[in-house]
Structure 1
Amino acid sequence: MRKLVALALGAVLLTGCSSAPAAAPDTLRITTPYKVKSLDPIKQGLWSPEWGYGELLMRSTDNGDVEPWLLQRLEPVTATQWRLVLRPGVTFSNGRVLDSTALKAVLNRHLAENALVKANLPGATVETPDPSTVLLTTSTPVVNLPNLLADEQLVSVFDAQAEGVYTGPFTVSKLDDNELVLTRNPKYWGGPVTLSEVRVRFVPDGQARLLAVRTGEADIALYPRTDTLGAVKDATSGPRMATAPQALQQLRAIPNLRRAPMNDIAVRRAFALAIDYDQLAKQVLDGLYQTPKGIYPSVVPYALETQRTNASEARRLLDEAGWTPGPGGVRAKDGKQLQLTVLTYPQQPDTQTVAVAMQAQLATVGIGVQITEVQDNYEALKGSAWDVGLSFDGTLGYTYDPIGPLRDFLTSQGSKNFGGITDSELDDLVAELRRTGDPSARTPVLQRIQRLIADRGYLTVVAQRSSAAVVGGAFTGYRPSSVLHHVGAHTQVG
């Protein structure tokens, strides 16, 4: 049935475009499951660096670095103050100069309206000593400011005096429920832009995205379903699979501590021990994922191996906690079955594949699983009718920053603390991390945090991967960005 539906959707996609003229040689056509809902710089500003109509003050790279982008320099003045020096000659697409006054208006707007910015820049104030310099002062040290300014969900840069005006190499010429159309910005401050147009279609079904590349109606399909990649992952001609350099995408299992049974630490620990991470990566996900050993990818020097598979130990923990085997193999305690509602979402179809495999793995230790698909995973996680939420959220984000994701997802005041973690020891450790300017001095703190998270079952990384895409047509040389910068001034045919 799933295949028939996918083919039907693909047929609709084809029919809807059959009369369209062939794309110009310098036009790129992309399909993605994620819809850009508006050009609102606060609520939807994250899309601007992804699609090249906006840029950030700092930029993450595929090499694992963070470097200045719209800034020329970023340097600490004191423990609680940073100097932001703007790159000369930067303009918005309407020709207005990005000077310190314009940047102050951007920062103040975010501080007033963006919850993530307020949380990560406590007590921030902004001064403009000269036209190219901003002094940003906070009430406590913010040692990861370079990473924060490279985070697409924080300080998007826009013209505060206009609507939908950014600095990028492209401007938005069309946005509706089906498509985003980007046109070369002739006034781009960074010089000539290679492509004349980028057309981004919002196609939720993974089969239909792949079919569009196979039929030549799209050049690139982002976020491909793993179970559709068998025919293209080793292809030497025609559509093929391409992957980003860094494995920053992690599928995390977020436990809901606000209700039983995941408020039981024994259940959370047994859950993590019962998952066969190696089987998920190598068999279920066809070798296209890597086996996680802990909450951080092994590329960072402070990563610890805190995850392992041990079904026998999982059963022992549940036995000791009073969860006894019942009819059908599902354990029970005080008359209530050990049954988990696990959330998946269609924009990341591998969440469904993983949930089905986890269902079988957890059953071997007596944990039952009911799988529920939701249309918006973050909105669903804000509710209460779930026990485990599957979500692609890297613990380094896309800026190689361990501090921000810890603060946002795992501390009691975190804006994305969907699981309701309230742990003063963890809060104190993350606060200490945020005060520690020397990266080498952060390592022991980060390792204590990793052990605490594992011991108390606050988070499980079930799989990790590099960003993937299916590429074809004139863009077979395209390689996905590790940090989700899908198109830019120098994206080209080839």
Structure 2
Amino acid sequence: MRKLLALALGIALLTGCASAPIAPPDTLRIVTPYKVKSLDPIKQGLWSPEWGYGELLMRATDNGGVEPWVLQRLEPVNGTQWRLVLRSGVTFSNGRELDSAVLKTVLERHLAENALVKANLPGAKIETPDANTVLLSTSAPVVNLPNLLADEQSVTVFDPQAQGVYTGPFTVSKLDDNELVLARNPKYWGGQAKLSEVRVRFVPDGQARLLAVRTGEADIALYPPTDALGSVKDAASGPRMATASQPLQQLRAIPNLRRAPMNDLAVRRAFALAIDYDQLAKQVLDGLYRTPKGIYPDAVPYALETQRTDIAEARRLLDDAGWMHSSAGARVKDGKLLRLTVLTYPQQPDTKAVAVALQAQLSAVGIGVQVTEVQDNYEALKGDAWDVGLSFDGTLGYTYDPIGPLRDFLTSQGSKNFGGVADAELDNLVSDLRTTTDTNARTPLLHRIQRVITDRGYLTVVAQRSSAAVVGGAFTGYRPSSVLHHVTATTRAG
């Protein structure tokens, strides 16, 4: 009853009246579960390229690569130095020019305040030989710098002398707890944006987001719950489902190695073997996901098939480790039941559907599951009141980078090492990978890394998909971005 009441209230707030207002053709209305909390370029800068009011030095593309964005080119000088050459004529929305001196200040600010940038650019030193060029030197090779500079959580480009001023085709005209409103930037260096206004409303309930498109209150609903897509996934008219081209979104199960029972290797391996990945993708998630075979999407040439379902092997591992059957359903060892607290979060409603399915699948080998929903999955994962965290993250990130996400999530010094992985061999392998410039020489390193991660139960990819959206109104031709660039200068009705 409470859930129904909350949904009704959410719908009422969205609709306000029985008939939805008609938006001008150059206005786009989007509903999303993720709230932009501020215009802080370090703490909340990731939203700026997603919503078109900011840009990055490099840009990930939907065809599987990265390319210069506000840079004209990025080129290695030697093993530990890169030359960054700015495009001429790039300005902030206040008209100030982006030159090498400004970029130097931006980079220094990120190095001082952005843990991700500091960790990935060791011993960074910055020089400005001319007005358009920055030389970036590091104490060790950073072979994935093009990918790092295309990462929305890395170096966002902002005016260090002004608050909330960026270089994108839109500017922020309003931001509060409910809505982000963007207006066309008349001074945009890349030419006039197709849209004059974008209105982004923060709607946490997935059903309410879909209803907003159905009633004409919104044109696009991002992150739709799979269980509500049945009537729109094959629709020929009206609201329909659209998907991105690249399967970069992975639903990953992160084990908490800092506490029992997931500090037991046998439990971690049994957990991964007891999951029926095919059933999750084809039945629980209605065929809208792909069955993962390993920790990397099978589209990349170095991906190995390291995951499988093997109930008998899972049971044997638990038997050998001393986990005994009990009348409670869950196994027991030393008087403690084998029960896992699995975290889900409402911004990604499919996490709950998967967690409920895992309850049934894992019970077949004697592992109990308690599903707990948290409002902010990363904040919850920083704590210790959990055993498995379900989180949509990719081992390629959104920049096709096989190195950065490994370092951030799975090495002892990683800024997102929520599970507490501390493995000297894995640290050394990732360190070697980060400094290996020969692409062919990286492949055996990547193969060994994948085997270590799987054999030691450090990560399980539960399902993978391409980003989806429900589109309607004048924007039925909209296709979601594989790399989360939801709105750009070229976004238009049609």
What amino acid does structure 1 have at the position aligned with 2:402? P
Q: Distance in 1 between matches of 2:463 and 2:152?
A: 23
- Residue pairs, 1:418-429, within 5 angstroms: 418-429=418-429
Q: Does 1:324 find its partner at 2:324?
A: yes
Q: 1:13–1:208: 8 Å Cα contact kept in structure 2?
A: no
1:440-487: CA deviation from partner (whole Å, max 9, x where unpaired) = 111110000000001000000000000000000000000000000000
1:97-138: CA deviation from partner (whole Å, max 9, x where unpaired) = 000001001000000000000000011011000000000000
Q: 1:342–1:369: 8 Å Cα contact kept in structure 2?
A: yes
Q: 1:270–1:313: 8 Å Cα contact kept in structure 2?
A: yes
1:264-294: CA deviation from partner (whole Å, max 9, x where unpaired) = 0000000000000000000000000000000
Q: How far did residue 228 of structure 1 move?
A: 0.4
Q: How far did residue 329 of structure 1 move?
A: 2.1
Q: Distance in 1 between matches of 2:415 and 2:357?
A: 30
Q: Does 1:398 find its partner at 2:398?
A: yes
Give the match for residue 307 of structure 2: 307
CA RMSD of aligned residues (A): 1.1
What amino acid does structure 2 have at the position aligned with 1:265? L
- Residue pairs, 1:205-224, within 5 angstroms: 205-224=205-224
Q: How far did residue 10 of structure 1 move?
A: 4.4
Give the match for residue 416 of structure 1: 416
**Percent of pairs with identical residues:** 84
1:145-164: CA deviation from partner (whole Å, max 9, x where unpaired) = 00000000000000001110
Q: 2:21–2:216: 8 Å Cα contact kept in structure 1?
A: no
1:409-451: CA deviation from partner (whole Å, max 9, x where unpaired) = 0000001000001000000000000010111111110000000
What amino acid does structure 1 have at the position aligned with 2:293? K
Give the match for residue 53 of structure 1: 53
Q: Distance in 2 between matches of 1:421 and 1:483?
A: 27
Q: How far did residue 17 of structure 1 move?
A: 6.2
Runs of 5+ in structure 2 lacking a partner? none
Runs of 5+ in structure 1 lacking a partner? none
Q: How far did residue 56 of structure 1 move?
A: 0.3
- Residue pairs, 1:240-255, within 5 angstroms: 240-255=240-255
What amino acid does structure 1 have at the position aligned with 2:148? L
Give the match for residue 92 of structure 1: 92
Give the match for residue 281 of structure 2: 281
Give the match for residue 484 of structure 1: 484
Q: Does 1:126 find its partner at 2:145?
A: no
Q: Does 1:229 find its partner at 2:229?
A: yes
Give the match for residue 116 of structure 2: 116
- Residue pairs, 1:169-188, within 5 angstroms: 169-188=169-188
Give the match for residue 147 of structure 1: 147
TM-score by length of structure 1 reads 0.99
Q: How far did residue 328 of structure 1 move?
A: 2.8
Q: How far did residue 3 of structure 1 move?
A: 6.7
Q: Distance in 1 between matches of 2:462 and 2:452?
A: 18
Q: Distance in 1 between matches of 2:6 and 2:87?
A: 47
Q: 1:17–1:217: 8 Å Cα contact kept in structure 2?
A: no
Q: Does 1:81 find its partner at 2:81?
A: yes
Describe the SS at the equivalent of 2:101. helix
What amino acid does structure 2 have at the position aligned with 1:65? G
- Number of positions where the alignment pairs a residue of Structure 1 with one of Structure 2: 494
Q: How far did residue 14 of structure 1 move?
A: 3.8
Q: Distance in 2 between matches of 1:472 and 1:425?
A: 50
Give the match for residue 375 of structure 1: 375
Describe the SS at the equivalent of 2:343. strand
Q: 1:6–1:207: 8 Å Cα contact kept in structure 2?
A: no
1:6-26: CA deviation from partner (whole Å, max 9, x where unpaired) = 641343234436688532110
Give the match for residue 346 of structure 2: 346
Q: How far did residue 5 of structure 1 move?
A: 3.9
TM-score by length of structure 2 reads 0.99
Q: Does 1:264 find its partner at 2:264?
A: yes
Q: Distance in 1 between matches of 2:388 and 2:360?
A: 15
- Residue pairs, 1:450-489, within 5 angstroms: 450-489=450-489
Q: Distance in 2 between matches of 1:350 and 1:238?
A: 24
Q: Distance in 1 between matches of 2:30 and 2:376?
A: 22
Describe the SS at the equivalent of 2:280. helix
1:353-395: CA deviation from partner (whole Å, max 9, x where unpaired) = 0000001000000000001000000000000000000000000
Q: 1:9–1:205: 8 Å Cα contact kept in structure 2?
A: no
- Residue pairs, 1:22-37, within 5 angstroms: 22-37=22-37
1:209-262: CA deviation from partner (whole Å, max 9, x where unpaired) = 000000001000000000000000000000000000000000000000000000
Q: How far did residue 93 of structure 1 move?
A: 0.3
Give the match for residue 440 of structure 1: 440
Residues 363 and 379 (structure 1), Cα distance of their counterparts in 2 relative to 1, 3 Å cut: same
Q: Distance in 1 between matches of 2:388 and 2:3?
A: 27
What amino acid does structure 1 have at the position aligned with 2:66? V
Describe the SS at the equivalent of 2:384. coil
Describe the SS at the equivalent of 1:29. strand
Q: Does 1:71 find its partner at 2:71?
A: yes
